[in-house]
Structure 1
Amino acid sequence: MRYLIARVFSILLVGFGSIVVAETADSVYLHGRIYTVNEAQPWAEALAIRGDRLIFVGGNEAAKAFIGAATGVMELQGRMVMPGIHDAHSHLLWAGLHLNYGCRLQEQETIDGIISKLKQCAAGKDKSEWLLAGLIKHTFFPENKPNRSWLDRAFPDTPVYLREMTFHHALLNTKALEVAGIDKNTPSPPGGEIIKDVNGELTGELVESATILASRFLPRDPVERQLDALRWSVAVNNQYGITSVQDAASNLESLQGLDTLDKNNELTLQVAAHFIWGNPGFGGRSNDDLLALIDDRAKYQSRHVRTDYVKMWIDGSPTPPYFTQADIDDRGQVELSRILIAPDKLNEMVTRFDQAGIKVKMHVAGAGAARVALDAIEFARKENPRSTVRHELGHTNLITPQDKPRFKQLNVIGEMSPSVWHLYGRTLGDPPQPAWEFKTLLDHGVLMTVGTDWVVTPTPNLFPGLKGMLLREDESIDLASALRMLTINGAIAVGWEKTQGSLEQGKVANFIVLDRNLFEIPVAEVSETRVLKTIFEGKVVYEAGGGIARQPDSQQTRGAP
């Protein structure tokens, strides 16, 4: 009610110029170039905030009427302001653990460098203790062929588990295989593969769901370490202007940690926590146990954490050397052998979740997986014709021409991944195919969001990806459309558009101040944009130079995540 009163008086103020506003603001921001992402009022000069809400968005002179004796007045000096960014795909706990406590191998690009780093990480540990490290690429190894023999020479008695760059695969040494009970006679599980060489010997590589055969033996992190990791991840997100995020694989530990932070008033992000189903490797539990967690989801909901979301993986990763994505073959058929959840079961589960009001995000790397996911949503639409739940395809890398119109027809959101271009380039698969067709999908009326997939990316900084969206040759889009994908579209995807995603009276005061005006600089400079200040619910949670988000030390070896 107080916001309605403020709205009425602010209208009177503008109309008559002499009416005194009934309530004063806690803070007022003046003289900015404020891009609101509100089509009815794209630009403003000033904002007024009371509590966690915007009570005024408009001109400088009108805003001054909201200033009282206790109001904090902030001078923007012509800086650009925009709504807080929504990261549509992140992994808060994994990122915090790996970048703060993990044995990090990204900086190593040779086997000698990897072994040297692993020895540093193992120093002082009992040799029987698991050594977990990552993230590796096949190119780090001689002839681009990862093999356990390189690890065995240095660690004959220590179980070593190396995560691959996408988290989809792993490389183990012989000791780790022994501890996990894996030998050359162990059958590959559905949706995964235990790799063997031409002689039938184990290489140590575990692909997709085969990783669960070993990862279930890894020790869990202490609770305080998990909380510290989450605190750090939240601060880093604020540093890059992110005020809301889809945590795209929330396991039990992540859910418990987020709940603790929120109860302690330490969570300065709005989080859409996506429960895991259909992938025990990522979930760390059986599908039955994962489903029980989903059924109990209200237990983990709090002020800043919403839990009506599920994440499923339909296929693998479109990256070498394994190429586990599900494509469309030469006959126009889906490569079903690479689909991780049987289509009939997927139809059943998407329909079940849809009926319960749960939004489903489905990882789709290949065009075949995208088709299977769209088929499942179409099935659910027929079973639940009154449902208004909007589901989302994660990554949306490769989509066939005939499937592109189905997004709008089925009210499906396409989450895009421009931040991973630095890892894989702008083509994916084998043979390479153009990926992330922003303009084509936009022309088809697809509502798109943008995610970083952090920890796969070094940081959750979306500005380099934003530049790429504007410089895609035939697939380039305009800046206004791109900024919608980073803001209001993300809010729509998770059902928060009435309170977040744009700067309007009555909405939550989540916004950022930038060091440059994105509309006035060369596109090539967009990637260099820095956030000067992040405001979450009306309070400054990050300020450049404030030292809020400590940077990960590449030599840090405080243990294994």
Structure 2
Amino acid sequence: MLISLAPRRALLALLLAGTPSLAAAQPRAVTSQSPADLIVTNARVYTADDTRPLVEAFAVRGGRIVFTGSAREAATLTGAATQVVDAGGRTVIPGMVDGHAHFVGLAQKLRSVDLVGTRSYDEVIARVVDRAKTTPAGSWIVGRGWDQNAWGNTAFPTHEALSAAVPNHPVILDRVDGHAALANAAAMRLAGLTAATKDPSGGKILRDAKGAPTGVLIDRASGLVENKVPAPSREELRAALKDAVARMHSLGLVGMHDAGASRESIELFEDMAATRELNLRLYVMIGDNAEALQHYFALGPRNALYDGQLWVRAVKLYADGAMGSRGAALLEPYSDDPNNSGLLLSAPAHIQEVAERGLAAGFQVNTHAIGDRGNRVVLDAYERAFAQVPRADHRFRVEHAQILHQDDIPRFAQLGVIPSMQASHQTSDMYWIGKRLGPTRLYGAYAWQSLLKTGVVIPNGSDFPVEDVNPLISFHASIARQDARAWPAGGWYPEQRMSREDALRSMTLWPAYAGFQEQLMGSIAPGKYADFVMLDQDIMRIPADLVLQTRVLSTWLAGKLVYTASQ
């Protein structure tokens, strides 16, 4: 396997050497002396390209980088129509890519009740009441972002207070991780949810002492109510997706890996790409739906569609739930819930079967696994699939890989499996994760450095809308393992921190590698898309506690300005 035995630096060298556009380009040479369309000069450019990691200028022609090097050399490519951008000494980095997020989820969240940051159940209810004032009676109210772990009382809420405050609207509120939801009485009535309703496979209905639903629905149980919410029209969703793209651009994101999309959503993405409305490097994972998988496997992998706006060549599966709702599958019970070891959302045989089909069809398979049992189940299923359908350079992934047994950490490199992780989850979870796991299992929690030392790469992300869209939150978490208040002093298990160089790669070159895109993007290097971001601070040199104060000044896609900050 490509990753299996090579140390990480050797892998990066191989990645660069194996890329024709990079191998053929000398750091100081240009492919042609004809004028550039765009020259960025007087900058501190962190290229994420090991052949030339720091330069002061680069040139763009036809949407691609044609030169990186000195300002003097770049100036020789100036023509009458060349746009010259003097960065004034500012920092420029490659356009950032979120390696695991939810496109439609962000679009919907921007138009729903935002519950992120609520400090009590009363505050959640107050925000819903405010929305109800402007929502016709009988219409659904949808929200997302509550987290009982941030409240004084960390027990799951029950619906009674919400139902009393908002009796005339059906309400469904997703927990921050998307793996639990709270429904009010009106919503449960519309869904026919009663004490007689059985738990669905892969889900749990929380109940009171009499067996009546409390309103909290874990994992696939939330679908019992959410399936009753009217879907937005195609045009409503299209407009919301455009808003989501604008939000990403404003924070320096030029692309994302969409972790599980329906066929209907993918077809809308493709329609937007065809009409040049997408304006994003979108790497799509097909959701686990039998008909959708059959359709896309028959089409085969599709790469860089519509001038590099869309890739459809991956599948998203689910092994378990999430830590916050105690749905992540653990090898031993939860320390704070000794009768519970979490939930498996897919049978191991199903993961293996889809993995084998993916290998045969040339598709990458990426499986959500958070708990140590969930991760082991996925690695075991992948290993069996690789034995049945051997394929080099498959780049299969485990999405999240948050809690790992020590025995499983080296297996990622041995199997050529990529741990796709989200650094901001660590800083969100560190306040309470010890209660869930106890002290011993924490040594395998968010174990970035332990994994990196085995030779793998870690594409970083946010899992938005679970976490905030801002990619610099994950950059800061990667290098500091601290929250915005610099807590805890020295970082949470600081031996697992990333270097700044690796943190930058984790948001640029490594997501590109994880999406088979490294020949086209991920670094500022000749031959690649001219996707880059200008920042007002040097995140590679400033104190870690200033990173979160950094502003994106401009974002560029294929050499075109897609966002500029207001003065």
Q: TM-score range by the shorter chain?
A: 0.7 to 0.9
Q: 1:146-179, CA deviations, whole angstroms, 9 ceiling, x for partnerless residues?
A: 1122233234443222222211111122232222
Give the conservation status (yes or no) of the 8 Å contact 2:423–2:462: yes
Moved over 4 A (4+): 6-10, 139-143, 296-301
Task: Give the letter aligned to residue 474 of structure 2.
Answer: G
1:500 to 521, 532, 550: 521
Quote the Cα distance in structure 1 between the aligned partners of 2:511 and 2:382.
20
2:394 to 368, 375, 389: 389
Give the conservation status (yes or no) of the 8 Å contact 1:84–1:487: yes
Secondary structure at the counterpart of residue 406 of structure 2: coil
Task: Give the letter aligned to residue 431 of structure 1.
Answer: L
- Displacement of 1:125 in angstroms is 4.2
Secondary structure at the counterpart of residue 542 of structure 1: strand
Q: Which residue of 2 aligns with 1:557?
A: none
1:456 to 456, 466, 470: 466
Cα distance change on mapping 1:408 and 1:187 into 2, 3 Å: same
Larger CA deviation: 80-89 vs 151-160:
151-160
Task: Give the letter aligned to residue 424 of structure 1.
Answer: D
Tell me the number of residue pairs that the alignment of Structure 1 and Structure 2 aligns. Answer: 520
- Displacement of 1:224 in angstroms is 2.2
Secondary structure at the counterpart of residue 266 of structure 2: helix
- Alignment of 1:225 with 2:246, yes or no, is no
- Displacement of 1:143 in angstroms is 6.9
- Displacement of 1:126 in angstroms is 4.2
**Counterpart mapping for 1:181-330 below 5 A:** 181-277=192-288, 287-295=289-297, 302-303=305-306, 304-319=309-324, 322-329=325-332
Q: 1:344-374, CA deviations, whole angstroms, 9 ceiling, x for partnerless residues?
A: 1211111111221111121111011111111
1:431 to 437, 443, 450: 437
Quote the Cα distance in structure 2 between the aligned partners of 1:366 and 1:539.
42
Larger CA deviation: 252-261 vs 480-489:
252-261
Cα distance change on mapping 1:518 and 1:288 into 2, 3 Å: closer
TM-score scaled by structure 2? 0.86
Cα distance change on mapping 1:119 and 1:527 into 2, 3 Å: closer
Quote the Cα distance in structure 2 between the aligned partners of 1:354 and 1:171.
38
Secondary structure at the counterpart of residue 381 of structure 1: helix
Segments of structure 1 that go 5 or more residues without pairing to the other structure are 14-20, 278-286, 547-561
Q: Which residue of 2 aligns with 1:69?
A: 80
- Displacement of 1:137 in angstroms is 2.5
Give the conservation status (yes or no) of the 8 Å contact 1:255–1:300: no
Give the conservation status (yes or no) of the 8 Å contact 1:135–1:164: yes
Larger CA deviation: 250-259 vs 228-237:
250-259
Secondary structure at the counterpart of residue 449 of structure 1: coil
Q: Which residue of 2 aligns with 1:23?
A: 34
Quote the Cα distance in structure 2 between the aligned partners of 1:478 and 1:143.
34
Q: Which residue of 2 aligns with 1:477?
A: 498
Secondary structure at the counterpart of residue 338 of structure 1: coil
Quote the Cα distance in structure 2 between the aligned partners of 1:496 and 1:117.
42
Secondary structure at the counterpart of residue 542 of structure 2: coil
Larger CA deviation: 296-305 vs 351-360:
296-305
Cα distance change on mapping 1:476 and 1:106 into 2, 3 Å: closer
Secondary structure at the counterpart of residue 512 of structure 1: strand
Cα distance change on mapping 1:471 and 1:129 into 2, 3 Å: closer
Cα distance change on mapping 1:296 and 1:232 into 2, 3 Å: farther
Cα distance change on mapping 1:427 and 1:395 into 2, 3 Å: farther
Q: Which residue of 2 aligns with 1:80?
A: 91
Quote the Cα distance in structure 2 between the aligned partners of 1:374 and 1:464.
29
What is the aligned-residue RMSD (CA, Å)? 2.7
Task: Give the letter aligned to residue 449 of structure 2.
Answer: K
Quote the Cα distance in structure 1 between the aligned partners of 2:318 and 2:352.
14
Larger CA deviation: 410-419 vs 487-496:
410-419
- Displacement of 1:259 in angstroms is 2.1
Q: 1:307-335, CA deviations, whole angstroms, 9 ceiling, x for partnerless residues?
A: 1111111100101xx311111128xxxx9
- Displacement of 1:8 in angstroms is 8.8
Cα distance change on mapping 1:336 and 1:359 into 2, 3 Å: farther
Quote the Cα distance in structure 1 between the aligned partners of 2:173 and 2:30.
64
Quote the Cα distance in structure 1 between the aligned partners of 2:294 and 2:327.
29
Q: Which residue of 2 aligns with 1:149?
A: 160
Secondary structure at the counterpart of residue 402 of structure 1: helix
Give the conservation status (yes or no) of the 8 Å contact 1:158–1:175: yes
Segments of structure 2 that go 5 or more residues without pairing to the other structure are 1-20, 334-339, 482-493
Task: Give the letter aligned to residue 326 of structure 2.
Answer: F
Cα distance change on mapping 1:109 and 1:253 into 2, 3 Å: farther
Quote the Cα distance in structure 2 between the aligned partners of 1:138 and 1:523.
29
Secondary structure at the counterpart of residue 291 of structure 1: helix
Give the conservation status (yes or no) of the 8 Å contact 1:84–1:511: yes
Quote the Cα distance in structure 2 between the aligned partners of 1:221 and 1:233.
15
Quote the Cα distance in structure 1 between the aligned partners of 2:156 and 2:378.
33
Quote the Cα distance in structure 2 between the aligned partners of 1:54 and 1:143.
51
Q: Which residue of 2 aligns with 1:369?
A: 374
Give the conservation status (yes or no) of the 8 Å contact 1:9–1:22: no
Quote the Cα distance in structure 2 between the aligned partners of 1:244 and 1:71.
26
- Displacement of 1:59 in angstroms is 1.4
- Displacement of 1:203 in angstroms is 0.8
Quote the Cα distance in structure 2 between the aligned partners of 1:517 and 1:455.
27
Q: 1:432-477, CA deviations, whole angstroms, 9 ceiling, x for partnerless residues?
A: 443211111111112111010111113x212122222222421122
Task: Give the letter aligned to residue 166 of structure 1.
Answer: D
Secondary structure at the counterpart of residue 284 of structure 2: strand
Give the conservation status (yes or no) of the 8 Å contact 2:320–2:342: no
Secondary structure at the counterpart of residue 362 of structure 1: strand
- Alignment of 1:162 with 2:173, yes or no, is yes
- Displacement of 1:496 in angstroms is 0.4
Quote the Cα distance in structure 2 between the aligned partners of 1:314 and 1:449.
19
Quote the Cα distance in structure 1 between the aligned partners of 2:410 and 2:185.
49
TM-score scaled by structure 1? 0.86
Cα distance change on mapping 1:437 and 1:54 into 2, 3 Å: same
Q: 1:161-216, CA deviations, whole angstroms, 9 ceiling, x for partnerless residues?
A: 22222111111222322221221111111111111112222212211111122211
Quote the Cα distance in structure 1 between the aligned partners of 2:517 and 2:454.
24
